């Protein structure tokens, strides 16, 4: 979430920066909300001062034995008006928070301005694409030929955009995750964490998935055991007044929001789209001691995405799935160190590809291609011979204080005062896409797949995967 003071102090400047992201900031709406807030706050302060003065007048009158009933009636009237103003102010503050919650982060000044991935800038390429003296197969054909990749059974069990791995390929998938975890914990100083795969709405809001990207998420319709809501019916033991107010005073949209808020209060769950959500939310609503920074975490989790808006894209194979595994790197850092942390985290992710001897390139994303919460993003793209193209395998971003402000994640600075943290994360790496890259780059003329040397200790010293 953006700093409200930045909007108040430089609305036109912030709007201009956001235009480079393709986001037209509604400055008129913001001005209306701010004007209403100021008016109510000014009137509230005037009434509070008047009530305080009148209360003193009542005390003095009583001390002199005077009749103060008329003045007391005036104080009651002031109290009623104050109560109404406070309710109005709360509603405006809620509208202001809703307004802020869908505004993307301001891009760092060094981010190239552009509209799409065509405007991204290549920073470097590492390794050369392999040359083959035989017809190159894609990962689907290779996996099916060795009997380790089964999309038909996955479709029967679940549907489209799922895969089933068997035998050595399933082991290779597991080996990749363990190799990544070992590298990041033993060589890069990350602490491994095992986190929940189901999170609440507050966690999704904290890292920026809600409210803007709900259609990309898998939400459980059933509340957890112990809540007052049960399958097939809704119980409202103490919330009917709020629902009645929404119906009486507001719009249908407000009623829907009321139900969403009530459902979230009951403990509704979302499947995580990335480990970034539970890991980063570890510091939500907390103050981290300065001496504990930086915090560096790594987690291996499945990830679940609806892939809304991707109809027709990457329908073949494992590139775009509803369920996939990822090893995620997260750093929670001092604001002055976040861009150094981003470069460090990027290098850590690159190390995995270098150890696997997979060709790749690093792209700096332009303003129009960055994710909602990011201030700067690097994508690592691995070479896929069957596509004759580089494809994303990791996205490493600095969010500055954008997520921390939503989460109220703070630290005590050098003066002992609470200050917002900066958050940095990236894939280290996406396991399924790494498997895809290995199959295609390590394919042999006889249809077998060579196992990279660094993975052989995890594979029982197996050197080649062949059809059994």
Q: What is the pLDDT of residue 70?
A: 77
366 in Cβ contact with 111 (< 8 Å): yes
> Residue 154: CB partners within 8 Å, gap ≥ 6?
162, 163, 164
The DSSP secondary structure of 165-177, one letter per residue, reads E-HHHHHHHHHHH
Q: Which helix (H) or strand (E) holds 330?
A: strand 323-333
393 annotated ligand binder: yes
284 in Cβ contact with 202 (< 8 Å): yes
328 annotated ligand binder: yes
- Percentages helix, strand, coil for the chain, rounded to the nearest 5? 45, 20, 35
451 in Cβ contact with 444 (< 8 Å): no
410 is catalytic: no
Q: How far is CA 264 from CA 210, 211, 253, 272, in A?
A: 12, 12, 16, 16
Nearest to 349 by CA among 155, 130, 190: 190
Nearest to 180 by CA among 340, 356, 321: 356
* Cross-strand pairs, 391: 382
CA 48 – CA 53 distance, rounded (Å): 9
- Other CB atoms within a 10 A radius of the CB of residue 338 amount to 22
Q: What is the pLDDT of residue 257?
A: 63
Tell me the backbone φ, ψ of residue 304, rounded to 5 degrees: -130, 125
Active-site residue, from 361, 392, 419, 466? 392
320 is catalytic: yes
Q: Please, what are the averages of pLDDT over each run of 10 residues along the chain (468 residues)?
A: 96 98 97 95 88 78 74 78 90 93 97 97 98 97 97 96 97 98 98 98 96 92 53 41 58 60 65 98 98 98 88 86 98 98 98 98 98 98 98 98 98 96 98 98 98 98 95
73 annotated ligand binder: no
At 428 the three-state DSSP class reads strand
Residue 362 structure tokens: 């690093």
How big is the chain, counted in residues? 468
Cβ-count burial 361-396 (b if 16+ within 10 Å, e if not): bbbbbbbbbbebbbbbbbbbbbbbbbbeebbebbbb
Active-site residue, from 163, 338, 395, 397? 395
Q: How far is CA 62 from CA 50, 71, 77, 421, in A?
A: 18, 11, 19, 53
Q: What is the pLDDT of residue 238?
A: 43
Which tens digit of pLDDT belongs to each residue from 62-109?
A: 777 777 677 777 777 788 888 899 899 999 999 999 999 999 999 999
Q: What is the pLDDT of residue 76?
A: 77
Task: Note the pTM of the prediction, 2 decimals.
Answer: 0.88
- Other CB atoms within a 10 A radius of the CB of residue 50 amount to 14
Q: Which helix (H) or strand (E) holds 92?
A: helix 69-101
284 is catalytic: no
**CA within 13 Å, CB half, 371:** 20
Q: What is the pLDDT of residue 371?
A: 97
301 in Cβ contact with 275 (< 8 Å): yes
144 is catalytic: no
466 annotated ligand binder: no
Tell me the backbone φ, ψ of residue 120, rounded to 5 degrees: -70, 155
Q: What is the pLDDT of residue 75?
A: 72
353 in Cβ contact with 429 (< 8 Å): yes
90 is catalytic: no
Active-site residue, from 43, 284, 320, 391? 320
CA 455 – CA 442 distance, rounded (Å): 13
35 annotated ligand binder: no
276 annotated ligand binder: yes
275 annotated ligand binder: yes
Active-site residue, from 305, 405, 406, 410? 305
Cα angle, residue 34 at apex, residues 26 and 36 outer, rounded to 5°: 120
Map tokens 């034995």 to a residue. Answer: 65
């Amino acid at each position: 979430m953006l700093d409200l003071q930045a909007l108040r102090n430089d609305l036109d400047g912030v709007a201009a920066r956001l235009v480079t992201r393709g986001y037209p900031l509604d400055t008129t709406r913001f001005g209306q909300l701010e004007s209403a807030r100021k008016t109510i706050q000014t009137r509230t302060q005037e009434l509070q001062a008047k009530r305080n003065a009148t209360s003193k007048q009542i005390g003095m009158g009583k001390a002199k034995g005077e009749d103060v009933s008329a003045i007391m009636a005036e104080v009651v009237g002031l109290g009623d008006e104050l109560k109404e103003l406070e309710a109005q102010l709360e509603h405006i503050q809620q509208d202001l928070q809703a307004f802020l919650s869908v505004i993307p982060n301001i891009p760092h000044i060094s981010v190239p301005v552009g509209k799409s991935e065509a405007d991204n800038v290549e920073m470097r390429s590492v390794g050369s694409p392999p040359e083959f003296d035989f017809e190159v197969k894609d990962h689907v054909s290779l996996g099916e030929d060795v009997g380790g990749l089964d999309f038909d059974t996955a479709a029967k069990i679940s549907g489209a955009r799922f895969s089933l791995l068997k035998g050595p390929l399933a082991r290779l998938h597991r080996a990749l995750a363990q190799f990544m975890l070992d590298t990041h914990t033993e060589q890069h100083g990350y602490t491994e964490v095992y986190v929940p795969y189901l999170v609440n709405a507050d966690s999704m809001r904290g890292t920026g998935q809600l409210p803007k990207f709900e259609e990309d998420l898998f939400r459980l319709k059933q509340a957890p055991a112990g809540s007052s809501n049960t399958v097939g019916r809704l119980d409202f033991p103490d919330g009917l007044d709020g629902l009645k107010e929404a119906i009486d005073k507001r719009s249908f949209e407000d009623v829907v929001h009321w139900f969403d808020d009530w459902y979230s209060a009951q403990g509704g769950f979302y499947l995580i789209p990335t480990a970034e959500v539970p890991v980063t939310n570890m510091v939500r609503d907390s103050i981290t001691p300065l001496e504990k920074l930086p915090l560096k975490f790594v987690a291996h989790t499945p990830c679940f995405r609806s892939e809304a808006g991707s109809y027709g894209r990457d329908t073949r194979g494992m590139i775009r799935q509803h369920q996939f595994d990822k090893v995620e790197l997260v750093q929670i850092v001092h604001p002055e160190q976040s861009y150094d942390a981003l470069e460090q985290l990027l290098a850590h992710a690159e190390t995995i590809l270098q150890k696997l001897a997979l060709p790749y390139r690093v792209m700096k994303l332009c303003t129009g291609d960055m994710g909602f919460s990011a201030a700067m993003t690097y994508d690592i793209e691995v070479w896929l011979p069957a596509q004759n193209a580089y494809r994303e395998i990791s996205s490493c971003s600095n969010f500055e204080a954008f997520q921390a402000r939503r989460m109220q994640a703070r630290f005590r600075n050098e003066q002992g005062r609470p200050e917002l943290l900066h958050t940095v994360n990236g894939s280290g790496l996406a396991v399924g896409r790494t498997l895809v890259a290995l199959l295609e780059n390590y394919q042999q003329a006889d249809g077998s797949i060579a196992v990279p040397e660094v993975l052989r200790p995890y594979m029982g010293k197996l050197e080649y995967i062949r059809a059994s």
